[in-house]
Structures are given as structure tokens and as C-alpha cells.
A and B are shown apart, each in its own frame.
Chain A
Amino acid sequence: MYVAVKGGEAAIANAHRLLADRRRGDRNVPALRIEQIIEQLGLAVDRAMGEGSLYDRELAALALIQARGDLIEAIFLVRAYRTTLPRFGYSRPIDTGEMKIERRISATYKDLPGGQLLGPTFDYTHRLLDPSIAEGGAVDTPVARDSEPERAPRVTDLLGHEGLTEDDVNEPQDEIGDLTREPMEFPLSRDRRLQALARGDEGFLLALGYSTQRGYGRSHPFVGEIRIGEVEVELDIPEFGFAVNLGRIRVTECQMVNKFKGNAKVPPQFTRGYGLVFGQAERKAMAMSLCDRSLRARELGEDVNHPAQDEEFVISHSDNVQSTGFVEHLKLPHYVDFQGELGLLREMRAEHEAEAGDDAYPEAAE
């Protein structure tokens, strides 16, 4: 029997009003402000921004409050917002070699020019909870050391290393794929994969990166360089005849360097995986670079035997807005589908019992 699903309107309206109340919580506790989220939960903001694929810290912070801190819900809100805006154009490629460096480390070259700059890192902390933060005590100002502005070339450009490290491929391209404008078709070019990975779910990419380290598609990685800082964004405006500088964005870049035993065409060398993410998002950038490298398996003539090497598997499941949409839709009313399945099962059960004999399932006979 078909049952129309209707009549939830009042329940839905009241549920949303209840949500607003629970989101606000105890009215005796001051309400959060956007600036507090941006200033004090900056890495959550960066994650909402990166996976929301929209650089706008205020919007990401608002999304976090609205989502009660649920990151995937916040990412969903950011993605939904971007669909309401017109596209002005495509920027010139940002130059991470001209970055205003806030952190830069290499696990492969101790004495890189410019040095190892730890920046504001969790590394080497003891991971002990600090009650003084809860007390809201004063925080020391950072130590400063006189320095001169200097260009900090990327390690991978600096050290071709006897030709033992793969160069960037820079060739004229007919088109640059844009997954926000075209359906996804496999096999994907590397530009499309990088776009998908850049906004992919950190947890999913982290687990896949980890799987390659544990033997599911070994890629022998080393961190050539991680750098975090601000870069300039420029947009060509044809009627001006020059590129307009729009301002700066903060990004995290990871250059993973991977031992490669070579093949018929390519001699043994270090190949590379690339990670680049909006904001300060080091774990995500590392995971992305591991996945970028493992997804180059086919290009480099490696066997594709493991999940992290299978681009259709990785890219089809890396987007947490798509994932959550399909998983969460299961909780919406499926009354009709379920009635259909129930009817079918009753028939099957009856046939089964008829074949098995009358007293096989006496309790199911109803």
C-alpha cells in the first residue's frame, strides 16, 4: 500500500528551533563570536575552508558555529554557499617559491638554505593537557630574532641532486580540468586528481596514506619539504591589461620524495608526490602528497594492486560531502522501499519454507 509522506512540517520547524536552542546552549555562557573562532580555533577553520574548497575564514568560522562544531556539516555549509556566487575567473598559478614562510622543515636535508624553521608547531610538545589554558592565563609574546627578507626556494627546485630527483613536468596543456564544472570521468588527469585531493577528506586520505606506509602499495616516502605561509593571488583582468593582485592566502605545501626503482623508460630515481591545501593543514598536505604519489602508479608503470593506487576508488570516495550525503540519506523516510522489500522477503520466505518442509521454521509461519 502506498502511504504519502506528509505532515512533518510542524515537527521539522520545532526540531530546527530546538536545534537553535541547543546550539546556543546555556544562555548564561557568553555566545561565541566569529573572531574568537578565527583566532582561537584556527586549524578547525582552516579544515572547514580547505575541504569546503572555499578560501574565506569568516565564512568557515560561521559555518563551524552553525554546525555546532561538526566539521563535515560545516564543510557542507561552505560548499552550499559557494554555489550561490558567480565565478569571476581563474587566478594565475600561485608561486609557493615566493611564500612568506611561517614554517618550513625538511626531513631529508638538514642544512637547507634558509634553515629549518619550526614555526607554530605541535611537534615536540609532550601532548599533556595544560590546565593553565582552561584558566585563561596570560600568554607570553613570541621571541623574535632579527632576520632579513629572503627568497626561500622550494627544496625540490634547489636540489636537483645529480638528476636523481624527478623534475616538475611543465608542458603546454590544452585545458586545466575543473571538477566543479565538469562530470568526473576516469581515468583522471593528474590536475583533476590534485583538485579532488586538495578538498578531499583529511581522515580518508590520512588512512590511505598510512596504508601505503604499512605495505598496501609501498612508496618509500620521505618529507622533502613542508612549508606553510602566505602567497599572493593574482587575477588577469583583460580590460586592464595587467594582473590584479587580490591579496594573500595562507597555504600548506608538502613535497614528498619517494624511492623509485625505475623501469624500461625511467632510470632509478626519487619520484615525488605533491600536497597543497588552504590554510595551515600539515597532516592533510602530507596525506595528500602520499595519495598523489600512489595514484601515479599507472603513469610510472607500477602494478596497481592496492586501494591507495586505485584512482577510481580513492577519488570517488574522498569527498566527504558526497560521502555524507549518500550515507546520511539512509535515515530519510524509505517507507515505500522498505514496504516493497518486506513484501518480497515474505514471498521468498514462504517459498523457502515450502521447499524446506512444513516444520522447518514453525515460528515463522505466523
Chain B
Amino acid sequence: MQPAEANPRQEAMAVLSHAAAGRLAELWSAWPDKPAFHKVRGPETGLVMVRARAGGGGNPFNLGEATVTRATVRLESGEVGHAYCLGRDGDKAVTSALFDALFQRDAATVEAQVLAPLRAELEAADDRRRDETAATKVDFFTMVRGDD
């Protein structure tokens, strides 16, 4: 995810793109007084060519493509929200774009109702996976030879 000093909106969009589609739908249905909006663009699915670096840190090369879905919405109050996320889920992109638009109107509420829980869930999932991996760490020990 983005470092803490990143643009807050950029960080919010990152939290949204990491969320599962079903979870975003739940959060949207729980959102009180949903604003009127219209779709300015999309949702549309396309490709992003994922780049990597030779040797991990060297010159870039094109690794392969990934599906990405984007959407742009405009709230009746004027804010324009965007979303770009991996995969082909149009509903996820539209919901993410709505939360991005709402974030510009009322960042504190979106933070409390949407971003904070999503961030905590992602962190918990990452922690669990990391702990499961940590249990497979090899603890080397040295065989003591009997001749001294």
C-alpha cells in the first residue's frame, strides 16, 4: 500500500482497490442517505501491461498484462470520483468511484465507515498469512560433534 506521506485520496483509492467486491457492496448498502449520481465513464474493462525489472532492480521489461476495470462517477453535488482496480468487476469499480467522490466531500465519514474497516481487514488477512508463512521458517541448529 502507499506510504503514509502519500496523497490521502491516493491512499484511499488504494484501500478501495484492495477490497473484495462483495465487501464493498456491503459497505455501500450500509451507507446512509446515498447521493444521487450518474456514471460519467464506464465501468469499462481493459488491460494494463504490468512491468517488472530485470534482476528485480534493473532495467524495466513488460511482464504480461492484467485485466483492469475503471469507472468515473459524478455526484449530484458535483464531486467526480474515479476508480481503477484489477479484475473485471464493474460494480466494484463503480462503488469504489462513488466512495472516492464521497471522500472528496466528507473524508472523515468515508474514513470511519469504509476505509478504516477495510484497512483493518486487509491488515488482519496479511497478518494471518504472514504468521502461517512464519510457521514454515527453518530453524537451523548445529549438530554438536561428539569428539571434543
Q: Which residues of A contact B (CB under 8 A)?
A: 50, 53-56, 58-59, 82, 85-94, 96-97, 100-103, 110-111, 115-120, 142-147, 149, 154, 156-157, 168-171, 173, 176-180, 190-192, 194-195, 198-199, 232-233, 235, 237, 240, 242-249, 251, 253, 255, 272, 274, 276, 278
What 4 A-B pairs have minimum CB-CB distances, sorted nearest first? A168-B58, A245-B14, A147-B134, A55-B66
User: Which residues in B have their C-beta under 8 angstroms from that of A156?
Assistant: 55-57
CB pair A58–B10 under 8 Å, yes or no, is no
* Contact indicator per residue, chain B 49-88, by CB within 8 Å of chain A (1) or not (0): 1111111111111111111101000000000001011111
CB pair A91–B50 under 8 Å, yes or no, is yes
Smallest Cβ distance from A104 to chain B, in angstroms? 8
- B117 proximal to A (CB < 8 A): no
Q: Which of A91, A96, A251 has the most CB of B within 10 A?
A: A91
- Given the known inter-chain contacts A100-B126, A142-B132, A247-B85, please indicate yes or no for A170 contacting B58, CB distance below 8 A: yes
Q: Which residues of B contact A (CB under 8 A)?
A: 1-2, 6-7, 10, 13-14, 17-18, 44-68, 70, 82, 84-88, 126-138, 140
CB pair B59–A149 under 8 Å, yes or no, is no
CB pair B1–A111 under 8 Å, yes or no, is no
In the bound complex, what is the Cα–Cα distance between A210 and B80 (angstroms)?
55
CB pair A54–B67 under 8 Å, yes or no, is yes
How many A-B contacts at CB < 8 Å in the complex?
A: 232
User: Which residues in B have their C-beta under 8 angstroms from that of A243?
Assistant: 10
User: Which residues in A have their C-beta under 8 angstroms from that of B126?
Assistant: 100, 149
CB pair B137–A117 under 8 Å, yes or no, is yes
Q: Which of A50, A87, A88, A143 has the most CB of B within 10 A?
A: A88
CB pair B54–A169 under 8 Å, yes or no, is yes
Question: Is chain B's binding surface mostly helix, strand, loop or mixed?
Answer: mixed
Smallest Cβ distance from B82 to chain A, in angstroms? 7
Q: Which of B18, B51, B138 has the most CB of A within 10 A?
A: B51
User: Which residues in B have their C-beta under 8 angstroms from that of A86?
Assistant: 44, 46-47
In the bound complex, what is the Cα–Cα distance between A247 and B86 (angstroms)?
6
Smallest Cβ distance from A309 to chain B, in angstroms? 18
Complex: chain B residue closest to A51, CB-CB: B64
Question: Is chain A's binding surface mostly helix, strand, loop or mixed?
Answer: mixed
A195, A199, A244: the one within 8 Å of B10 (CB): A244
CB pair A56–B62 under 8 Å, yes or no, is no
In the bound complex, what is the Cα–Cα distance between A130 and B6 (angstroms)?
50
Complex: chain B residue closest to A99, CB-CB: B56
Complex: chain B residue closest to A192, CB-CB: B61
Smallest Cβ distance from B78 to chain A, in angstroms? 17
A58, A94, A97: the one within 8 Å of B51 (CB): A94
User: Which residues in A have their C-beta under 8 angstroms from that of B136?
Assistant: 103, 117-120
Apart from A117-B136, A246-B66, 5 more pairs, CB < 8 Å: A142-B135, A168-B59, A178-B49, A242-B10, A249-B50
A89, A101, A190: the one within 8 Å of B49 (CB): A89
Smallest Cβ distance from B79 to chain A, in angstroms? 14
CB pair A233–B66 under 8 Å, yes or no, is yes
CB pair A233–B48 under 8 Å, yes or no, is yes
- Given the known inter-chain contacts A50-B64, A156-B56, please indicate yes or no for A85 contacting B140, CB distance below 8 A: no
Give 6 A-B contacts (CB < 8 Å), ordered by A residue. A94-B50, A176-B51, A180-B62, A245-B10, A245-B13, A278-B64
Smallest Cβ distance from B90 to chain A, in angstroms? 13
Complex: chain A residue closest to B51, CB-CB: A93
In the bound complex, what is the Cα–Cα distance between A194 and B52 (angstroms)?
10
User: Which residues in B have their C-beta under 8 angstroms from that of A87?
Assistant: 46-49, 65
CB pair A249–B66 under 8 Å, yes or no, is yes
